Amino acid sequence: MKFQNREALQLETKALRVTVLRGGGHIAEILHKKTGTNPLWIPPWSSIEPSQYEAALHPQYGVNADGKLLSGIMGHSLCLDLFGPPSDEELSHGISVHGEASIAAYDGVVRDGQLCLSSVLPHSMLRIARVIRIDNDELHVRIRESVDNLSAVDRPIAWTQHVTLGPPFLEAGATRLTIRTERSRVFESEGFDAGGLVRGADFDWPYAPRHESDVTDLRVFGGHARSSSFTAHLMDRSSDRASFTAFSPSAQMLFGYEWERRDFPWLGIWEENRSRQNKPWNGEAVACGLEFGVSPFPEGREKMVQRETLFGVPAFRWLRGLERVSVEYSAFLGQAECFPNEAGAAVRRR
């Protein structure tokens, strides 16, 4: 199978189609066939296989540490065992932004109604495996994911599901988000300032403080023209489950993910609304990352470990020597006539 000239595997039922790219393992598409809606982000630039990327030959993807990642990124990416930029030493050894998992080559097969993927990350000495299936209700996509430490050494890791929404499902000033949180903080360093949020400010969802005593309602994507921001959210510890839900009024579609809160206690919300002018962004990208994981911020390994905790909750997890850790989470997609209230709203199949 091919997807935007990329090698891909596809799993489909009468109602849904899931497309996964072999290069990077990205879940590029969760397509609602009847409406033609894929909520996941497809970048406005053409992509290549990450294995084909060479900085000198592909300047269209920029000259920064994220060039290789951006050459092939789509939809739902996996950040492992790094969330954020590599150190200079890591970069010199071929580690990209967000780690090896999102640029690695994956073996995969579709059989018995399941899409199975696996890859060994040689620098990180990890093995990643995913099994993806579509529920009989044709509303839920179930994902079982395992990470094996191939080293005998205990290590602190980042592990984040970088789910990114894109147009036409994502519309500035229209698409709405629902999450349940305890406490939130704006990214503390430069890099996500175009939205005018106060760096490092703590706040309660959904009102993030802006300069000049103003606030931004984060329930609505892209309320300010050419904006960018990143906010970290500690998920509600009164529930064993955590989730986010996005609603597109024009498509009348609900889309979201649900997971075990103890596996991924943090959700980062990244907004990019045509603010980045450098290559390959060129002021054209509209994207919203809903990034649930074990770390609050995309800050790199050293800062992650030095932070240790935020709001009293760990900012990374330990992976013991030769340990295997498995998690399960799910995406859901279906038609709906209204934005969900605090209790949630039913997703209907038509």
What dihedral angle (degrees, nearest 10) is formed by the CA atoms of 216, 220, 221, 225?
-50
Partner residues linked to 256 by β-bridges: 245, 332
- Lowest mean pLDDT, pick from 15-19, 212-216, 234-238, 263-267: 212-216
Q: Which pair of tokens denotes residue 197?
A: 């949020």
290-324 pLDDT, tens per residue?
A: 999 999 999 999 999 999 999 999 999 999 999 99
Among 59, 78, 81, CA closest to 68 = 59
Q: How far apart are the first and last CA of the chain?
A: 28
The domains found in the chain, sorted by start residue, are: 2-335 (2.70.98.10)
Cα 145 versus chain centre, distance? 15
Query: Are the C-beta atoms of residues 317 and 327 closer than 8 Å to each other?
Result: no
Query: Are the C-beta atoms of residues 247 and 237 closer than 8 Å to each other?
Result: no
Per the document, the length of the chain is 350
Query: Are the C-beta atoms of residues 301 and 159 closer than 8 Å to each other?
Result: no
Among 329, 317, 323, CA closest to 244 = 329
Burial of 211 (0-12, 13-18, 19+ CB in 10 A): exposed
In degrees rounded to 5, what are phi and psi of residue 59? Answer: -65, -15
Task: Identify the band that residue 345 occupies on the pLDDT scale cut at 50, 70 and 90.
Answer: very low
Percent of the chain with pLDDT over 90: 88
Compute the C-alpha angle 281/272/292, nearest 5°. Answer: 120
pLDDT of residue 342: 42
Residues ≥6 apart with Cβ < 8 Å to 214? 196
CA separation for the pair 255, 177 (Å, rounded): 10
pLDDT of residue 340: 60
CA separation for the pair 317, 315 (Å, rounded): 7
Residues ≥6 apart with Cβ < 8 Å to 213? none
The amino acid that residue 313 corresponds to is V
Residue 194 pLDDT > 80, yes or no?
A: yes
Task: Identify the band that residue 348 occupies on the pLDDT scale cut at 50, 70 and 90.
Answer: low
Task: Identify the band that residue 347 occupies on the pLDDT scale cut at 50, 70 and 90.
Answer: low
Among 337, 323, 4, CA closest to 151 = 323
Is the peptide bond between 206 and the residue preceding it cis, with omega within 30 degrees of 0? yes
